[in-house]
Amino acid sequence: MSATQPLAGPDGETRPAAGPGEAPVRIAVMGTADIARRRMLPAMAAAPETALVAVASRDRDRAAALTREYGCAAVEGYQELLERPGVDAVYVPLPVALHAEWVERALLAGKHVLAEKPLTADPHRTAALLALARERGLVLMENVMFLHHPQHAVVRELLGSGAIGELRSFSAAFAVPPPPAGNIRHRPDLGGGALLDIGYYPVRAALHFLGADVEVVGACLEYGPGSAVDTSGAVLVRTPDGVTGHLTFGMAHAYRSAYELWGSEGRIRVEPAFTPPADHQPVLRVTGPAERRELRLSPHDQVAATLRAFVRAVRSGTGGAPRGARSLRQAELLEAVRRTAGARRPGLVAAPPP
């Protein structure tokens, strides 16, 4: 398999460039979160398909300090941003606990929305927002960047071609060192905790490779000493035909980002899997019935690819029903993890918001 051949994206379609003469999508950013500063703002500024027009913060000086670098407007207050003319779409990197309110307000203001993952912490709120976007003919897209990296499409092609026989099990791990004190990941009132921020990745990878019928059959969430939020966890999932998955995650670990598919005749391992730098050359390690091989792919910028996918959705005038269904199923799986872990360790897992 050539590392340079055109590859299908996570939805199966090819990824053409934007057509000449198309006006850029005018995007405003709601908040100055770390992921916005480090990854999304530079991508928006560099992409010819987008025009970064404004950044909002509750503190105008904070917004201004950021916008000077990009030559766009600084706005004080999120509602003022939504009332600003000349904005086609809004990127929402706010804490999870604020997503539902501000995504809804953005949709009601007629803006397309790219929201950080998870879309909300509650599947009922997620379903309501997706329905609102459909009703208004707007795009609501969860910012799941790793799925826009071609290495995962290659893995699916290998799996479909029988490279490892019939799939028997799936494992995934994502963990990071402890965030500094005061980081929002430590704050339960803002939707902090390892499950929503870090466990999201292995759960979404299981959904991607095992399908929408995958179910949570076991889970635990652990709380570090003195922590008000979960700091690690493990999940056991199963498909109706008996393929199992073991997912681990945490924010008190040495860094790891990996998954493996284990079949009747071999294995495929991907590491790093979820947040590779744009200049990283992926290496897929495939163990077959008679050989071991490494597939070296071209580097790929998954941040830029995600932004292009959002722009295509906006330009096509479709909200992306399959993508929305996956976001809803992801929310249901995360809720199932909380519910299952809570049943095993009463009092440790807060109920989802009403």
Burial state string for 27-38 with b = 16 or more CB within 10 A and e = fewer than 16: bbbbbbbeebbe
Catalytic residue among 26, 117, 156, 315: 117
Report yes or no: 72 and 55 within 8 Å, Cβ to Cβ. Answer: yes
- State which H helix or E strand residue 109 sits in: none
Q: What are the backbone angles phi and psi of residue 231, rounded to the nearest 5°?
A: -110, -10
User: Catalytic site residue 111?
Assistant: no
E strand intervals along 32-78 = 50-57, 73-76
- Evaluated on CA atoms 214, 340, 121, 303, the torsion sign reads negative
How many CB atoms sit inside 10 A of residue 335's CB? 17
Nearest to 92 by CA among 24, 146, 140, 126: 140
**Structure-derived torsion over alpha carbons of residues 9, 11, 15, 17, reported in degrees to the nearest 10:** -140
Report yes or no: 305 and 151 within 8 Å, Cβ to Cβ. Answer: no
Residue 242 Cα to chain centre, angstroms: 26
- State which H helix or E strand residue 303 sits in: helix 302-316
Distance from C-alpha of 233 to C-alpha of 354, rounded to nearest angstrom:
24
Instruction: Say how many residues make up the chain.
Output: 354
Residue with the two structure tokens 């897929």: 284
Residues with catalytic roles:
117
